[in-house]
Amino acid sequence: MAILFHIDMNCFYASVEQAINPALKGKPIAVGGDPKERRGVVVTCSYEARARGVYTTMRVTEARKQCSELIMLKPNFERYRAASNAMFTILREYTDLVEPVSIDEGYMDVTAIVHGADALNLAEDIQQRLKKELDLPCSIGIAPNKFLAKMASDMKKPMGITVLRKRQVEAVLWPKPVIEMHGVGKRTAEKLAAHNIKTIGDLAATSEVDMRAWFGKNGVRMREKAYGIDNRAVDPTSIYDTKSVGNSTTLSENILSERKLNDVISQLSQRVANRLQAKNLAGKTISIQLRSADWKQTTRSKTLVNAIYEQHDIAREAKELATKHWNGAPLRLVGVSISQVENRQQRMEQLDLFTFTDHVRDEPVMNIMNELRDKFGQDIIVRGVRVKKSTYDAPTSFSKDFLDDHRK
């Protein structure tokens, strides 16, 4: 049976600040935006701040009202990135099977290096090393698969170590509210509640046929997880799999006109295009995210025949979606993203009426290339393709691009 760890750093940004400045330890601190700006929200906060009612995503102005002695710090992402690198470096000293999933959490497959009760000793050693060498606390979940390991790491914070076995699922997980299940957010929980599914046990008791009918493939996966089933392997190469590229912004003033909305979409589309081009990617599905002033969220997508990556194409499609689905309510957040991405250089060009003549003209060249490949190998020559991987050096969103530090 596999033995997997989920390492979850506790209050990561705040803990890094306290490690660098010990005078902050034991005090209510929060990392977030400028309290003078509307977009200022709490990104994370210490346990001392949480005990006083401060929480992540709370507006900075509200957090100060809730806790008058709150110490607000602006984010220092390079500092957190360095701490993340140091954390994952320590993890990789134990095994190469380490999969980063965010800047402050990752999975380890330790099956080959521990047996039975030794797993607990290994987890304690890792936890103590991270605390001693980096002065950073973490919680660790130990389980036979990713889902259970993630659920376990959430059970004891800070500095907790929890073992969760499949035979414990019914007793430990089923009584919990379904929203506490990893992968179930507020909106999904509301949809589940509409079908009288309020606990993880209720989810497990629902038939696969109904879950598929109501939620599609995702419904089947949710039900499997309710039984503690998760066959995903720890994959260190997953950092190379970019599934989507997007950008969003919270506005300092509500958007009230279509002209202003289109201006913002154009700006976001340029950022998305820059990221796609830096990574040599293109995508077929475009999505927009609109959040109104009363926090109601609308997400709409459209899948295209051909993949796109240029700003004008992204902006055109995003504006069309916005025009169709915006009801005119004041907007405080807008997002644009591209998914179903693929490497542009490896994407085969489709033959159609506009490119067929080019291929006919190139046929003699293609014949020569094929002869060379047959003689010397497939990689001897490529047509119009750079072999080198992209350098990923364009400005991109921090939450995604920390993974670039782990690319070899």
45 three-state secondary structure: strand
Number of neighbours of residue 244 by Cβ within 10 angstroms: 15
Structure-block tokens of residue 137 = 């606390």
Residue 59's Cβ-count burial label (10 Å; 0-12, 13-18, 19+) is middle
Torsion of CA 312, 314, 320, 325, to 10 degrees: -150
Structure-block tokens of residue 322 = 């916005």
Alpha helices in 135-257 (DSSP H): 146-153, 169-172, 186-193, 200-205, 208-215, 217-226
The H or E element that residue 297 is part of is: strand 297-308
Q: How far from 400 is each of 139, 241, 317, 339, 388, CA to CA, in Å?
A: 22, 11, 24, 14, 22
Q: Which residues are the active-site residues?
A: 105
Q: Contact, 284 vs 340, CB < 8 A?
A: yes
Among residues 228, 236, 235, 209, the alpha carbon closest in space to that of 220 is found at: 209
Q: How far apart are CA 57 and CA 35, in angstroms?
A: 13
Q: Contact, 234 vs 99, CB < 8 A?
A: yes
Type of residue found at 240: Y
Q: How far apart are CA 262 and CA 326, in angstroms?
A: 12
Is position 8 annotated in a ligand binding site? yes
Is position 104 annotated in a ligand binding site? yes
Number of neighbours of residue 329 by Cβ within 10 angstroms: 16
Q: How far apart are CA 45 and CA 17, in angstroms?
A: 10
Number of neighbours of residue 401 by Cβ within 10 angstroms: 18
Enumerate the known binding-site residues.
8, 104
